[in-house]
């Protein structure tokens, strides 16, 4: 497929989900620079669907994605991608304003309830007296979701070319001539779904960058034998200093909620960030840590206003942005892919997205 209708740069959840829709009526090629798709941000997610996560600009995408993740088309996937979790937002004296703001921002949008956090988390240390329960939060089977999108993409005739890096792109009368590490490709439309590399791809194609910044997030898996249950909620600090989520009996995933700028790369965890996470965790609960079993980091890519970027570049119309998803690309993938595929085709988004304002995500806002 050296003359496809559409080339998508990036084979993570963004490229795979959009490709799965576009391949239904176009020839589509996904170029992935790694030897497997989803190696970077997609494969390093803490894997939850939470409506308040990402704020009010992301929430409509997350909410619209919920039913599509809970009850997918049987031809797409057999069974749900979601499983029950809940989120408990906790705080101490001084966090009252944050607690009130969380409740106010999502009134009428997300069901949030004030609760006693100590009643929900045995071993919570004294002082953590503020609690907001977000009962709708669920875990996501990220690997199954990504695999399902790639499977649908290939069934529709789409092609994934691994270990193939974009070198440069040049717009021409027929669309784009793309130079890659494996040779040249001519296509009609170019989609930038390159995550942390989104601005680099744009620059290589002569398109002005948006200012998408990769921010490192560190995660550690801890063995905590005294953790009361694997069914405890995802626990989030209202001050955004940490969150942790049970991952099986006696184990959990913990992050210091860090956002450190990084160049696009194969991100590695920082020892200081792991140490900070553990110190903050020990401030919150009295569960002794038996071991740090593994640790990793991923890059979450944000536009300057922290909203996703979906749409044609206004200065280079044959260049389509599907980037800047931050840490929310997986929980918003079904709705985002439906919206973006409609924009590519020039169609009205489907009824399930009726509450979305696509202008909020357009790259026009940066030009």
- Mean pLDDT confidence for 188-193: 98
User: How do beta strands 189-192 and 319-323 pair?
Assistant: parallel
- Mean pLDDT confidence for 231-252: 97
List pLDDT tens digits, range 251-295.
999 999 999 999 999 999 999 999 999 999 999 999 999 999 999
Percentage of residues in the chain having pLDDT higher than 70: 100
Q: Give pLDDT, residue 152.
A: 98
Domains and CATH numbers, the chain: 6-47+142-212+304-366 (3.50.50.60), 87-135+213-302 (3.30.9.10)
**pLDDT of 1 strictly over 70:** no
- Mean pLDDT confidence for 157-171: 97
User: Do 37 and 162 form a contact (C-beta atoms < 8 A)?
Assistant: yes
Q: What is the mean pLDDT of the chain?
A: 97
pLDDT band at 2 (very low <50, low <70, confident <90, very high): confident
- The neighbour count for residue 217, using CB atoms within 10 Å, is 25
Percentage of residues in the chain having pLDDT higher than 90: 97
Nearest Cα neighbor of 21 from 346, 337, 350, 336 is: 337
Q: Give pLDDT, residue 355.
A: 86
Alpha-helical segments (H) within 4-137: 13-22, 59-70, 96-105, 117-120
- Mean pLDDT confidence for 132-138: 98
């Amino acid at each position: 497929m050296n003359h496809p209708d559409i080339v998508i740069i990036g084979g993570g959840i963004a490229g795979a989900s959009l490709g799965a829709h576009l391949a239904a009526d176009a020839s589509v090629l996904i170029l992935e620079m790694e030897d497997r798709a989803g190696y970077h941000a997609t494969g390093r997610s803490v894997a939850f669907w939470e409506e308040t996560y990402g704020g009010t600009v992301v929430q409509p995408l997350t909410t619209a994605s919920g039913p599509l993740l809970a009850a997918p088309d049987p031809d797409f996937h057999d069974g749900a991608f979601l499983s029950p979790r809940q989120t408990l937002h906790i705080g101490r004296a001084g966090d009252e304003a944050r607690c009130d703001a969380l409740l106010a921002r999502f009134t009428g949008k997300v069901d949030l309830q004030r609760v006693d956090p100590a009643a929900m988390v045995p071993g919570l240390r004294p002082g953590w007296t503020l609690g907001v329960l977000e009962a709708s939060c669920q875990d996501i089977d990220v690997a199954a979701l990504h695999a399902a999108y790639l499977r649908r993409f290939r069934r529709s005739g789409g092609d994934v070319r691994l270990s193939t890096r974009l070198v440069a792109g040049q717009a021409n009368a027929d669309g784009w001539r793309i130079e890659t590490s494996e040779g040249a490709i001519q296509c009609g439309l170019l989609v930038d779904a390159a995550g942390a590399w989104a601005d680099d791809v744009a620059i290589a194609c002569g398109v002005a960058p948006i200012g998408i910044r990769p921010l490192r997030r560190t995660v550690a898996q801890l063995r905590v034998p005294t953790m009361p249950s694997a069914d405890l909620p995802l626990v989030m600090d209202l001050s955004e200093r940490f969150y942790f989520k049970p991952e099986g009996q006696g184990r959990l995933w913990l992050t210091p909620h860090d956002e450190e700028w990084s160049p696009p790369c194969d991100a590695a965890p920082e020892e200081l960030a792991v140490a900070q996470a553990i110190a903050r965790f020990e401030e919150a609960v009295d569960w002794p840590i038996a071991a740090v079993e593994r640790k990793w980091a991923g890059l979450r890519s944000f536009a300057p206003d922290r909203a996703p970027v979906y749409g044609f570049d206004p200065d280079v119309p044959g260049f389509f942005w599907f980037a800047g998803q931050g840490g929310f690309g997986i929980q918003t993938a079904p709705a985002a892919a439906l919206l973006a595929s409609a924009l590519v085709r020039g169609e009205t988004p489907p009824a399930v997205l009726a509450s979305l304002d696509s202008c909020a995500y357009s790259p026009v806002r940066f030009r």
